[in-house]
Amino acid sequence: MRILGIDPGTVITGIGIIEISGGKISLLHYDAVKLNSADSIHNRLKKIYDICELKIKKFKPEELAVESTFYGKNIQSTLKLGQAKGVAIITALNNNMNVSEYTPREIKKSVTGSGSASKRMVMNIIKSIFSIKEDPEFYDSSDALAVALCHFYSIGSNYNKIKTGKNSKLNRRQKWSQYVKNNPRKILYSK
């Protein structure tokens, strides 16, 4: 199974692609697309679509995991993030991929054990998991890998059931709670 993780943004969009084969998780690709903030939002959204399409055609992931939009202090920024997320989702759906969304807190908790982890902490753990030697240029690429990893962790023990169609009605919360139950040593922090 290949998972495309997207950390959407209209200035920088993070992309991470992982593969799970024989119980082993491998890094296939990671990148951060730097967009020109002087370009119109429409041109930037088109570029996000084109890049996502290119990565999907090249790496052939079956699943898209995307960070959900959260409300910040600036409603215009939140709306633009939602547009970038929507573009990634439409690109995936046009390529017959399954789509899942995760909150920033879910992603951080699944990777670091703490839902309030810093971007630096997420990056350091991602670097360790995938044996990445240098810091990525932007946090967005390590965040995208964290999104992909979160998706794998959330379907974890249910992957074979989902793949064969058994128990396919499990929702994301049930998958996550099942993962937590089956992997208590991976959860470093809980309330």
pLDDT at 184: 63
pLDDT at 180: 65
Cα distance between residue 188 and residue 191, in whole Å: 11
| DSSP letter assigned to residue 62 | S
Catalytic residues: 7, 67, 140
Cα distance between residue 134 and residue 147, in whole Å: 20
Asked if residue 59 is part of any domain, the answer here is yes
pLDDT at 167: 41
pLDDT at 170: 44
pLDDT at 187: 57
pLDDT at 53: 98
Range of the domain at 109: 2-186
Smallest Cα–Cα separation from 35: which of 22, 25, 50, 21?
50
Single pTM value for the model: 0.80
Overall domain count for the chain: 1
Residue ranges of the chain whose pLDDT lies below 70: 71-72, 157-180, 183-191
pLDDT at 188: 55
Asked if residue 8 is part of any domain, the answer here is yes
Q: Residue 83 sits in a domain of what CATH number?
A: 3.30.420.10
Asked if residue 139 is part of any domain, the answer here is yes
pLDDT at 190: 46
pLDDT at 168: 40
Asked if residue 191 is part of any domain, the answer here is no
